[in-house]
Amino acid sequence: PKCLRDYLAEPHKCYVGSVVSAYLDTPLFAFQSRFDTDQREGEMDEACRNSEACVSNYAASLTNKTEEHLAGKHGYFLDSCERHCFFSNERPVGDASGLTPLQAFASWCDGGAAVYGQAAVPACKQCCHGTSTSNRLLSADVLI
């Protein structure tokens, strides 16, 4: 209700994770790609989608918003894979924790660290063990 009051003229924004996350009381663990293929399609025009600089700026902004809104009682696993609603049982290359996203979620639930994932790098297919959207799709990107 508070989000709807604050976005009275644009209530649809309360469905956007970067907006609604600021209003969450329930602990949440997000599994998010900086290069989410669905978000890029829906939030960028064609010129931006085809610009490495624009896509990198979007990824940096998403990273900053995730850190800002999910700090504290929430947790997250950010990767640099080009995907949407897919994860692998392997950990993305470059994640210092050594955990898969599901292992990170379990660790967070047991009181472990809140932040997991790859360093922010340009979308990197070889860094993601084939986690492209052409593979099977599993579940949603947000685990609660």
Q: Which residue has the higher pLDDT, 65 or 17?
A: 65
Vertex 69 angle, CA 122 and 8, to 5°: 115
Residue-wise pLDDT for 52-102, tens only, equals 899 889 888 888 888 888 877 899 988 887 777 766 666 666 667 778 888
- What DSSP line would sit under the chain, residue for residue? -HHHHHTTT-GGGGGSHHHHGGG--S--EEEEETT-HHHHHHHS-HHHHT-HHHHHHHHHHHHHHHHHHH-SS-EEEEE--S-SS---SSPPTT-TT---HHHHHHHHHTT--SEEE----S--GGGTTT--TTS---S-SEE-
Phi, psi (degrees; rounded to nearest 5) at 66? -65, -50
**pTM for this prediction:** 0.74
User: Would the pLDDT of 11 be above 90?
Assistant: yes
Please, are residues 22 and 10 in contact by the beta-carbon 8 Å criterion? Answer: no
The rounded distance, in Å, linking the Cα atoms of 22 and 61 is: 16
**What is the mean predicted confidence (pLDDT) over 15-29?**
86
